[in-house]
Amino acid sequence: MGKISPDYYVQDGVIPRTKLQYVLREIEALSQKHGYRVANVFHAGDGNLHPLILFDNAIPGQLEQVEALGGDILKLCVAVGGSISGEHGIGADKRCYMPEMFTATDLETMVWVRQAFDPKGLANPEKMIPTPRTCGEAARAKTQDFPGVEQF
Amino acid sequence: MVVLSSPSSKPSTKRIDWQAIAREFAQVVGKEGVVQRKEELLVYECDGLASYRQRPALVVLPRTTEQVSALVKICDRYAVPFIARGAGTGLSGGALPIENSVLIVTARMNQILEVDLANQRVVVQPGVINNWVTQAVSGAGFYYAPDPSSQIICSVGGNVAENSGGVHCLKYGVTTNHVLGLKLVLPDGSMVDVGGKVAEMPGYDLTGLFVGSEGTLGIATEITLKILKTSESIHVLLADFTSVEAAGQAVSDVISAGIIPGGMEMMDNFSINAVENVVATNCYPRDAEAILLIEIDGLAVEVAANSQRVEAICRQNGARSIRWPPIRRSASPSGKAVKPPSLPWAKLALIITCRMA
Ligand SMILES: Cc1cc2nc3c(=O)[nH]c(=O)nc-3n(C[C@H](O)[C@H](O)[C@H](O)COP(=O)(O)OP(=O)(O)OC[C@H]3O[C@@H](n4cnc5c(N)ncnc54)[C@H](O)[C@@H]3O)c2cc1C
């Protein structure tokens, strides 16, 4: 992508195969709304999308805007019944999107499992599971009472 | 509403005696196994998500399970967080250090410990590169199926932690479907074996739990992988469409027909033009709204029959042209020609397909 744009941001999400056409149209709309081109390449068979968002990291502020667009694409994946990661994992990058997919109970269950292995929290802390420190308000899982409410 | 707090994540304010920790590490792995000079630590300050950086306090390079265990025990005793790192190609910042942390890098744990062709399994250390597994067994007609685009540089340990996938995972499953057992060092430094050398094990599926845990449950120090027999025949079809909808429908129709291709990859118009702009292959129609690359593998008779059916499905969905680029089978047991076009190297692979056509 080098000749078109100096940098690109790879997003990774999963959608049900049958939603492909709809999701591509929506990604195009998001791309126009945010003002960044998105190139779509995917493992079509299993619905794993890798939208590449093109930008210029030398221009201050672009990375943050591109991350916001990437985040909107992830929320779109969840909205159609998909997932926020196909294969790249959650790590530090997507931990704050976990509450988009999982309820407070789901996340608490994961914390229990983690604590069973790692009661002192020394193994790769702060990754994968959102905490108030890393995600602020976003660490409060979305409750069923407010389905459409933006958390962050 | 419940506010989740992860076990650690309190910003540590206490003073940590890094010199003392480095000395203890050196007793385990030797001086040359400990990295503590600022300039040298820079290499480790980010992974593939390069926009985030944090220098680790220390980097340590063990060679054996026992050494990892001893190192983790030291971390436990000093209550300092540790982060496993394989090749550092992760794209979500999994191996990104946090403040005042130790990076335990598996680069020197790069031995293939056991190859058991008769039982189709291989035991590796976590720093073994994904591609090496296939290389080690391809002469005998086997391969390791999960093939992330980064397979020439990423480690099996990283694959396990991320439950990595690739083109051929559509048919063959992601990493978790190919890991039979693990030797683990738990966060208190104790060693444990989970799973085993056969697929069916009683009790909790701790192997399944660990795969995809992103280094948050401990460090994998030995991994038993399943290997597969290379397909007798592989065909790749390249179809171009004038609408993304049509290409998407063709994908759904192929699967509903009961055919699971070895891989099925799509690129949209913008991506096609990006490839053409950069390398001018002149083989992807710039006006195509989408192209599909479909790999069909299996027994020769099955591949012949399925190829015809897939071609017919693409035509029914309005494919303008269909080509069958030849594949050099010997060069790539897993059909490299259809590596996903999602990332630069993969894009190159796609171009190779084109050149051969
Ligand atoms: C160009 C490019 C293409 C890519 N294509 C794909 C793709 O097609 N599919 C895909 O799935 N991914 C892809 N990736 C992402 C990445 O390569 C994979 O996630 C890979 O598995 C990471 O391996 P690594 O050795 O680099 O791990 P690292 O980045 O070093 O670590 C990743 C995570 O694993 C943990 N970890 C590492 N080793 C161990 C261990 N022994 N025990 C416990 N935890 C451990 C780390 O703590 C971290 O959380 C791509 C990356 C790049 C740069």
Look up tokens 């195009």; give the residue.
A28
A80/B contact by beta carbon, under 8 A? no
User: A121 vs B343: CB contact, 8 Å cut-off?
Assistant: no
- In tens, the pLDDT along B248-300 reads 999 999 999 999 999 999 999 988 888 777 777 677 788 999 999 999 999 99
What single-letter DSSP state applies at residue B118? T
User: A130 vs B267: CB contact, 8 Å cut-off?
Assistant: no
Q: Whose CA is nearest to atom 13 of ligand 1?
A: B148
Which pTM does this prediction carry? Answer: 0.90
User: Is A7-79 CATH 3.40.50.720?
Assistant: no
Q: Which atom of ligand 1 is nearest to the CA of A87?
A: 11
Kindly report the average pLDDT of chain B as a whole number.
Answer: 88
Q: Which atom of ligand 1 is nearest to the CA of B174?
A: 11
Minimal Cβ distance to B278: which of A2, A41, A85: A2
pLDDT-above-90 percentage for chain B: 75
- In tens, the pLDDT along B221-255 reads 999 999 999 999 999 899 999 998 899 999 999 99
Which region among A60-74, A84-98, B276-290 has the lowest average model confidence (pLDDT)? B276-290
User: A43 vs B265: CB contact, 8 Å cut-off?
Assistant: yes
Distance between A68 CA and the closest CA of chain B, angstroms: 14
Task: Grade residue B143 by pLDDT with cuts at 50, 70 and 90.
Answer: very high
Q: Which atom of ligand 1 is nearest to the CA of B84?
A: 47
Residue of B49, B85, B124 to test ligand 1 pocket, by largest number of atoms within 8 Å of CB = B85
What would the two tokens of residue A45 be?
């068979």
Q: Which letter, b or e, does each residue of B150-179 get, where b requires 16 or more Cβ atoms within 10 Å of its Cβ?
A: bbebbbbbbbbbbbbbbbbbbbbebbbbbb
Residue A111 has a CB neighbour count (10 Å cut-off) of 17
B76/A contact by beta carbon, under 8 A? yes
How do the domains of chain A map onto residue ranges?
A: 7-79, 95-145
Instruction: Give me the half-sphere count of Cα atoms (radius 13 Å) on the Cβ side of residue B340.
Output: 30
Question: Pick the residue with more confidence: B327 or A100?
Answer: A100
Ligand 1 neighbours (beta carbon < 6 A): A 87-88, 91, 124; B 47-48, 83-91, 94-95, 106, 126, 148-150, 154-155, 157-159, 161-162, 164-166, 214-215, 219-220, 340, 343
Judge contact between B186 and B83, C-beta under 8 A. no
B292/A contact by beta carbon, under 8 A? yes
- Residue numbers in A near B82 (CB within 8 A): 122-124
B177/A contact by beta carbon, under 8 A? no
**Span A118-125, mean pLDDT?**
97
- Residue numbers in A near B161 (CB within 8 A): 89
Q: Which atom of ligand 1 is nearest to the CA of B165?
A: 11
Which region among A109-113, B222-226, B289-293, B330-334 has the lowest average model confidence (pLDDT)? B330-334
If we measure between CA atoms, which residue out of A25, A55, A24, A11 comes closest to residue A37? Answer: A55
Residue B12's pLDDT is 53
Residue B330's pLDDT is 34
Compute and round to an integer the Cα radius of gyration of chain B.
23
**What are the strands of the beta sheet with B179-185, ordered from one edge?**
B112-116, B121-124, B219-226, B179-185, B191-195
Residue B201's pLDDT is 83
Cα separation, B210 vs B207, whole angstroms: 5
Task: Grade residue A128 by pLDDT with cuts at 50, 70 and 90.
Answer: very high
Which chain B residue is nearest to residue A145, measuring alpha carbons?
B1
Is pLDDT of A132 > 60? Answer: yes
What would the two tokens of residue B15 be?
């003073």
Q: What is the 3-state secondary structure (H, E, C) of A88-114?
A: CCCCCCCHHHHHHHCCHHHHHHHHHHH
Minimal Cβ distance to B92: which of A45, A92, A130: A92
Distance between A106 CA and the closest CA of chain B, angstroms: 11
Q: Whose CA is nearest to atom 35 of ligand 1?
A: B215
Q: Which atom of ligand 1 is nearest to the CA of B214?
A: 49
Cα separation, B52 vs B11, whole angstroms: 18
Residue B337's pLDDT is 36
**Span B61-88, mean pLDDT?**
98
Residue A151's pLDDT is 34
- Residue numbers in B near A92 (CB within 8 A): 49, 52, 92-94, 96
In the three-class reduction of DSSP (H, G, I as helix; E, B as strand; rest coil), residue B92 is classed as coil
Is pLDDT of B52 > 60? Answer: yes
**Span A94-104, mean pLDDT?**
95
Alpha helices (H) along B153-289: 156-162, 169-172, 206-210, 244-256, 269-279
Residue B5's pLDDT is 45
Residue A136's pLDDT is 82
- In tens, the pLDDT along B107-118 reads 999 999 999 999
